[in-house]
Amino acid sequence: MIEKTIQDLIGNHIISDECEIWLNSIGFYDKPASINHHGNEDGDLFNHSYEVAKQLGILTDKLELVWQRKESPLIVGLLHDVCKCDDYDLVNDDNAFTGESWGYNPNKIYNGHGDKSVMMLSSHLQLTEEEMYCICFHMGAFTDKDLWKFYSQAVNKYPNVLYTHTADMIASQVLNI
């Protein structure tokens, strides 16, 4: 499970060739995971996402987690932060070696995070309800306090929401990816 990649999902027809083209076109493999925190280098959005998928696979194996479909840890881990493809753009920066650096996209269509990822993916991938909740609530309590009740309800309905958040925290806070 841990060693699978997006190519495995494409081969199993979970991710279509068109979805893979779309991921390339929005910079999924090139953009950073953040600008000021973990994974702030070119390509770190994919590196972070891959690590979350890897950690979620480890948790699934060790804790014998049950998912609605076996590919879910890979799908959720790899695609939970696809929203960031819309959040960051290259901007002119005279202080940067290349003359460009990553900046915030001033023309974002939507300001969400997990819910934004689910919305962006909905045109390209058929997610299970469990996958949608895991992606939507992967930030756990690192959201507005008003949303904590919904996070708790999501964990009660789908316990793998908690493990998705845990995998994200391991990747971002423990491994700094």
Global pTM? 0.89
Q: What is the pLDDT of residue 38?
A: 78
- Report which of residues 107 and 148 the model is more confident about: 107
The residue ranges of every structural domain in the chain are 6-174
Whether pLDDT at 2 is above 60: no
Mean pLDDT of 83-92: 89
Mean pLDDT is lowest, of 1-5, 103-107, 137-141, for: 1-5
Whether pLDDT at 105 is above 80: yes
Whether pLDDT at 8 is above 70: no
Task: Give the Cα separation of 8 and 153 in Å (integer).
Answer: 32
Whether pLDDT at 128 is above 50: yes
Residue 123: pLDDT band with limits 50, 70, 90: very high
- Report which of residues 20 and 133 the model is more confident about: 133
